Amino acid sequence: MTYLPCVEIEPTQTATASVIWLHGLGANGHDFEPIVPELKLPADLPIRFVFPHAPEMPVTINGGYVMPAWYDILEMNIDRKVDETQLRLSASEVVKLIEREIERGVPANRIILAGFSQGGAVVYEAALSYDKPLAGLLCLSTYLATKDSVQRHEANKDIPVQVFHGSLDPVVPVSLGEDAFSTLKEWGYSVEYGDYPMEHSVCLEEIGDISEWLQGVLE
């Protein structure tokens, strides 16, 4: 079995939970690594953080320039025309990482998927279609790219979902985060939404709220 290359941060004790966290377009697995100590998680909540690196591919909206990407973005419009085949392939790679965590002794219901921007679109697909109940889904400054095609699985109909977005985001407009939230609500998911006066990034207040949410779903 081959896996995406990953940056991994191990807790000081044996991990009892895992967070698989995907970066955005053009970044890599090191992008969110510095956030882990900022989360200030309690010592009695030993979490392994797994930050996979996206493969490199040409990206149409960037003139075909080759960069780390989870899928190609074909048109930069409000509806975000994307290569869904590539997105699903990335989601299948995330599922392999979930299965590896299970093999390492972390049950599915102690595994959280998280993603920023492009990475968020992939974890939406991976989590909603996964066939074992997961602990939670964290979606940062992202959008539900496969809203019309995702094959939702009953196993994760009760998954806690947290959506965070920047209200000043010029890259992924806040309306896309709100639309994902509304869609999940309509589908009957347990989803919460929060936004911050920031652009396409992460802020300190958000990091504090992420920490609180992680501790809540893993208590």
Contacts 24+ apart (CB under 8 A), 61-69: 67/25, 67/26, 68/23, 68/25, 68/26, 68/27, 68/28, 69/25, 69/26, 69/118
How far CA 211 is from CA of 62, 120, 137, 163, in Å, comes to: 34, 18, 13, 14
Tokens of 52: 């996979």
- Write out the catalytic residue numbers: 117, 169, 200
Cα distance between residue 71 and residue 83, in whole Å: 6
* Predicted local distance difference test score (pLDDT) of residue 78: 60
* Predicted local distance difference test score (pLDDT) of residue 97: 98
Given a cut of 50, the residues of the chain with pLDDT beneath it are none
* Predicted local distance difference test score (pLDDT) of residue 154: 97
pLDDT per residue over 89-102, tens digit each?
Answer: 999 999 999 999 99
* Predicted local distance difference test score (pLDDT) of residue 194: 98
Domains and CATH numbers, the chain: 6-217 (3.40.50.1820)
Ramachandran angles phi, psi of 200, nearest 5°: -85, 80
